[in-house]
Structure 1
Amino acid sequence: MGPDFRFILRVLAAHKLLIAVIVVALTATAAFGVSLLKDQYSSEALLLVDNRQVRVVRPEDQMLGSIPAEDSSILSEIEILKSTAVLSRAVEDLKLTGNPDFNPPAQPAPAEANQPFAARATAYLRDHARQIWGEDLPGPVAALLDHGDGMARDAVQREAYASTGIDGILDRIRRKLDVAIVGRSRVIQVRFTDKDPEMARDMVDTIVRRYMETRQQMDRDLSTSAVEWLKDRIDALRREVAEADRKVDETRFRAGLVKGGNNGLMATGELEQARLRLAEASANRARAVAQAEALERGARSSGSSIASPVVAQLRATVAAISTEMAQLSRQYGPKHPRIIELQARLNEANSALASETRREIDGVREAANVAIAQENALKAMIARLESSYQTMTEEAVPLRTLEAEAQAKRQLLDSLLGRLEEVQAQQDNRAFPTAVKLVSAPQVPRSPSGPFRALLLLAGFVASFAVAIFTVFGVELLQRRIRTPDAVRRILGVAGVHILPHHSTRGVHGRLYELFQRHPFSLFSESLRALFRNHLADLGPVGSIAVTSARPQDGKTSLSLAVAQVASQAGRRVVVVDTDFRRSRIDGLFNLSAKRGLSDWIAGEAALDEIVHSADDVPFDVVPAGRLMSETLDRFNVDCLVHLMAGLSPRYDLVVFDTAPALAVSDARIVCAAASRVLFVTRWGHTTASDLQAVADLGPIDHEKFVCVMTDVNLKKAASRGYQGPYSSYVATRKYYGGNRTLRATS
């Protein structure tokens, strides 16, 4: 349902004095502490982390390297700035070992009474050992005591540590040194705070300068080590490349795999050329054979297929002679000399033509035979090359592996050579400045940077107010006293709780039943009437009421008498029976200690009429508890109480039993079991939640006859502290009650 701010404000208002005391005390303490603070001065310097590098080795690579997106490089620079190496050199430069602010003088050795426990125990054991063995102690005992002396000396040295050691100075410097990134930039802010402004400036300047020197030295060392490593690696790679080339050549010559002009293997090229020549020879052979066969066919037929010039000339001669001879044959006869001459010449020409034709055919046939022989020779050579090609192929596989390995090593060698040139160039700081640049040099601060006294005082006031509020609510949360009806209902599980307010005249000057007589129109009297009318008026002709509580001092006896008073004034005949045999109060209130009581009746030593007594100032009778006897406690049970009420019923309409606390003895549970109504009394601010929980753990509660009453409620105080329930309504309606309406606030 959300917070109840009215309740919170009422609780705070009820504890306003406690809040004021806490706020004033803590604020005054904070003001005193702030007044003791000395002015502090801060000097700062700004450094820019720029990891870009200029490459000047190769013209095509001249560019600015990109800055990495992550902040790991800047964080690394911050750690270097705060490192022991940088701060130690700053301590040496500024001679801080002699500065009492950074290196206070050594503490004097503690007195004997203030020696550590180990030293005093060792001295005590040594004295007793000398009393037993004398000055010459046994070896184990002496060794043990010497070990104890060593431990004592170490303890003394640790306690009287003079911060002459560098660790103490560095710790003090780191507490005052602040190194951080400015926003989301790449700028590092170095700030040092000290009470001396010049010391603050000198410290920042020295730290930054030593850091820059350290950074440059780191770069130089890195470049030098890189150059040395590259040189060693390049020399090794050169030897490896030479060895790889040697192995490649050996493998190539051993297998006959010599490289040709086109970067191919000679054996492979020779095989391909042989195959080309074989194809050409095959074509030539086929052509020559075909030509020879054609000439032979032509020679058998007419011989006109021969294209030789000699044959052509002879054919022309034969043709001319034949023509001339044919012309002369028409004029002359066969015996004519001219015809005979021409016939002789024709025969000679035909003989020469036949001879020349045969010679041409034989030449073509010889060329065909040569082509066939050449083709066969090339086939044999190709067969020989192909037979050895498998062997050459097996040798070529490792050769290619060796060549690839040699090529890779040559590439790595070229890369390392280029890197060597680049790193050697980077050793020149003029070409490659440091990656961290000083943007703003430290200055002597003119005004103090702290402490902010007004802000500290305000923070102290706010903190003290918060502490006060938490203290108030802590006290409320830790409060185990019952102050609200809701707590009673939650623990006991009852339906309702009746409220009896506190009255101003209660205490030494009056009792509750007397208050009802003297102030019949007061709020307290109206509450008693409401209790009787709402819960006790319908008990029948003869009723019995048991009044009990969880613990003593809760007001059982007072409420018992007050209820008896209200019932008597309402016309009832009432008798009050005291069943608290151990700590009876009714005997003292009405001076009945010497008279017989309930225990005497239970023991059979007195009659019922002898234990009932009346008083002058009350309209009801009283049965005191009587003497405490063991036989009485053993016989006290429900049947005994039923017999008692049967004997009292002819004379009385209501019997009120005043019982012992329920958590103290079992008598109260016996009376509650026999009574027709049980009034369970809780006292406001006195009964605790653990008491009620213990009552709930005793057993199930009969809610039909169980009535819970909260007495001595300070309504004004409860309402002012924000407690919910009927408190505010009681206060709001108090104008309806006459008499003394002032409600005294009690603690």
Structure 2
Amino acid sequence: MSVLSDVPKGSPVVRTLTRDHAKPLGRKIKDRDLPHVERQMPIPMATDSSTAIDKVGEFLEFDFRKMSDWLRAGMKGAVVLALVGGLAGGAYGLLSKRLYTVGTDILINPSNLQVVANDLYAAPTQGDNQVLAVRSKLRVLTSRNVLLHVVDELGLTRDREFNDPSPGLLSSLIGSRSGGAASDPRTAVLEVLGKRIVAKADETSFVATLSVSAETVDKAIRISQSVVTGFQDELAKAESDGAARAARAIDDRLDQLKQEVQAAEAKVESYRRTHNLASSQGQLVSSQSMTQVNSEMITAQSRVIAAQAAYDAVLAAGSNATTQDPVASASLAALRTRASGLQQELDGLSMTYGPRYPRLAQLRAELDAANGQIKTELSRILAKARSSLEEAKASFKALDTKMKDMTGTVFTDNEVQVALRELERDAASKTAVYESFLARAHQIAEREQIDTTNVRVISTAVPPQSRSWPPRTSLLIVVGVVLGLAAGLFLALARGMLRELRDPQPAAAEQRA
């Protein structure tokens, strides 16, 4: 009291001390003294802004005793809300639609089966490319095409779980505002089915897990199996469509390549006819003829040498000459034998009889005839050898003349064949490209019929042990009780705060009264 008495009357410090320092000072100034102090020391009227600031400051000065008072005051309401929340949770657990979730593990290998050596699709080799390939295939697992396959196969448009023909009031209002955009019932089924299917990839392997939820276990398993089948069919169809597009592109190109090959081959044949370049077994006829004539010249030259040697031998032998002709040699040998016999007989009789002996005259006549025949035969042999030599020389000369003529023709053909070989190379290259494209087109056409996707189910869908939604009824009751109790306590605190804001100093007002 002594401290306040020293302060001049009407000073705002008095109100500040009474408001801001009464409680922190351990309530040394009692509540019963405040009215007395205020009566002794009149305080001037506060402005509107200072009054609002004072109210906010007094509101922020609430303590835990006030909070406990507020909570005790609203405890009954909180208990009631807790009971309502528990009943709501139990009712939701008992009355809401139950969903059962089944899981299927699928091994998605990024590399397809190696059916052909030179496949149309290259297998990813880098780790990042393999991960992207698996993620792309995983995206196909929940794609619209796969889901449409499931809808059509299982007839989900006739299932009330996925296509309810009598929607609720809220859905009707929303549908009326949207103007009935979804005229196809499969669109609504796809929207519901897309929320019931979840695909998740394993970060450490190529295994993906497909989770499917439905109101019954059998339906969830059938949908899961249909999704896997549609997924495999979609991958196979994608590869088949790609192969078909490639085959069509190659077929379109084949027609043009065929025309180019025919035009190139026609140029080659036209050039051959224009320059008279006949060929046989890949070689010009002129070159083959020249090679043949060259061989004949070698043979003719050998004959000339042999005939010259035979003629020289006949000349050198004289009367002792022989011939390679077996008939002539036998005749000449017989004549020489006869002449030798006559000579011996003549010599024997000459020693016994005189020169006028008749037999001697006869033998001399026979011996002269035999020697004449031998000379005649030798002359014939010499003439024949000379004739053979002249014939061989004439044949060699003719071949030599022919060889000279053909050499000029071959040289001319070789010069012309330079351009011909260029045309042949162009035709051969175009033919090779055409044949490779043709073989590739047939290979791709067969590849279109082969499914090389390497996707395998390693864990089939099995009935779950419990439902996936809603949670257990007991858990929903506990959650409802906790949420209701929390809501009641929050409302109690909010109600107390609102009262505090409306009347920040109810106790002081009562003491003034």
> 1:287 — aligned with what?
306
Q: Measure, in 2, the Cα distance between the counterparts of 1:398 and 1:81.
A: 56
* Letter aligned with residue 292 of structure 1: Y
How much has 1:412 moved relative to structure 2? 1.9
How much has 1:323 moved relative to structure 2? 2.0
- Residues 106 and 163 of structure 1 are in contact (CA less than 8 Å); yes or no, is this contact kept in structure 2? no
- Residues 227 and 423 of structure 1 are in contact (CA less than 8 Å); yes or no, is this contact kept in structure 2? no
Cα 1:278–1:171, aligned 2, differ >3 Å: closer, same or farther?
Answer: same
Pairing 1:368–2:385 present: no
Cα 1:419–1:284, aligned 2, differ >3 Å: closer, same or farther?
Answer: same
**1:491-530 residue pairs with structure 2 within 5 A?**
none
Pairing 1:401–2:420 present: no
How much has 1:408 moved relative to structure 2? 1.5
- Residues 317 and 349 of structure 1 are in contact (CA less than 8 Å); yes or no, is this contact kept in structure 2? yes
Pairing 1:298–2:295 present: no
3-state DSSP class of the match of 2:209? strand
- Residues 254 and 438 of structure 2 are in contact (CA less than 8 Å); yes or no, is this contact kept in structure 1? no
How much has 1:432 moved relative to structure 2? 4.4
Q: Measure, in 1, the Cα distance between the counterparts of 2:170 and 2:201.
A: 26
> 1:412 — aligned with what?
436
> 2:292 — aligned with what?
273
Pairing 1:44–2:103 present: yes
Q: Percent identity?
A: 20
Q: Deviations over 1:4-36 (max 9, x none)?
A: xxxxxxxxxxxxxxxxx9xxxxxxxxxx9xx99
* Letter aligned with residue 304 of structure 1: A
Structure scoring higher RCO (CA < 8 A, sep ≥ 6) equals 2
Higher relative helix content = 2
> 2:399 — aligned with what?
378
Q: Over the residues paired in the alignment, what is the CA RMSD in angstroms? A: 5.4
> 2:238 — aligned with what?
218
Pairing 1:190–2:210 present: yes
Q: Deviations over 1:596-640 (max 9, x none)?
A: xxxxxxxxxxxxxxxxxxxxxxxxxxxxxxxxxxxxxxxxxxxxx
**1:391-470 residue pairs with structure 2 within 5 A?**
391-394=412-415, 395=417, 397-398=421-422, 400-402=424-426, 404-405=428-429, 408-409=432-433, 411-412=435-436, 415-416=439-440, 418-419=442-443, 422-423=446-447, 426=449, 432=451, 436=455, 440-441=460-461, 446-448=466-468
3-state DSSP class of the match of 1:334? coil
Cα 1:46–1:322, aligned 2, differ >3 Å: closer, same or farther?
Answer: same
> 1:114 — aligned with what?
none
Q: Deviations over 1:82-116 (max 9, x none)?
A: 446656888995459997899896599xxxxxxxx
Q: Measure, in 1, the Cα distance between the counterparts of 2:249 and 2:219.
A: 44
How many aligned residue pairs are there? 358
Q: Measure, in 1, the Cα distance between the counterparts of 2:246 and 2:198.
A: 34
> 2:378 — aligned with what?
357
How much has 1:291 moved relative to structure 2? 0.9
Cα 1:375–1:402, aligned 2, differ >3 Å: closer, same or farther?
Answer: farther
Q: Measure, in 2, the Cα distance between the counterparts of 1:267 and 1:100.
A: 98
How much has 1:378 moved relative to structure 2? 1.9
- Residues 88 and 170 of structure 1 are in contact (CA less than 8 Å); yes or no, is this contact kept in structure 2? yes
Cα 1:55–1:355, aligned 2, differ >3 Å: closer, same or farther?
Answer: same
> 1:312 — aligned with what?
333
Cα 1:219–1:52, aligned 2, differ >3 Å: closer, same or farther?
Answer: closer
1:77 to 137, 141, 150: 137
Which range is displaced more, 436-445 or 160-169?
160-169
Which range is displaced more, 401-410 or 73-82?
401-410
Q: Deviations over 1:185-241 (max 9, x none)?
A: 543222367999999879867765664564455355445445544544555555555
Q: Which runs of 5+ in 1 are unaligned?
A: 1-20, 22-31, 109-159, 458-747
Cα 1:243–1:200, aligned 2, differ >3 Å: closer, same or farther?
Answer: same
1:321 to 324, 329, 342: 342
* Letter aligned with residue 356 of structure 1: E
3-state DSSP class of the match of 1:446? coil
> 2:355 — aligned with what?
334
Q: Measure, in 2, the Cα distance between the counterparts of 1:376 and 1:329.
A: 57
3-state DSSP class of the match of 1:330? helix
Please, what TM-score do these two structures have when normalized by structure 1? 0.38
Q: Deviations over 1:119-157 (max 9, x none)?
A: xxxxxxxxxxxxxxxxxxxxxxxxxxxxxxxxxxxxxxx
3-state DSSP class of the match of 2:309? helix
- Residues 198 and 444 of structure 1 are in contact (CA less than 8 Å); yes or no, is this contact kept in structure 2? no
Cα 1:249–1:180, aligned 2, differ >3 Å: closer, same or farther?
Answer: farther
Q: Deviations over 1:398-432 (max 9, x none)?
A: 364156336525642652464155146x1xxxx74
- Residues 313 and 321 of structure 2 are in contact (CA less than 8 Å); yes or no, is this contact kept in structure 1? no
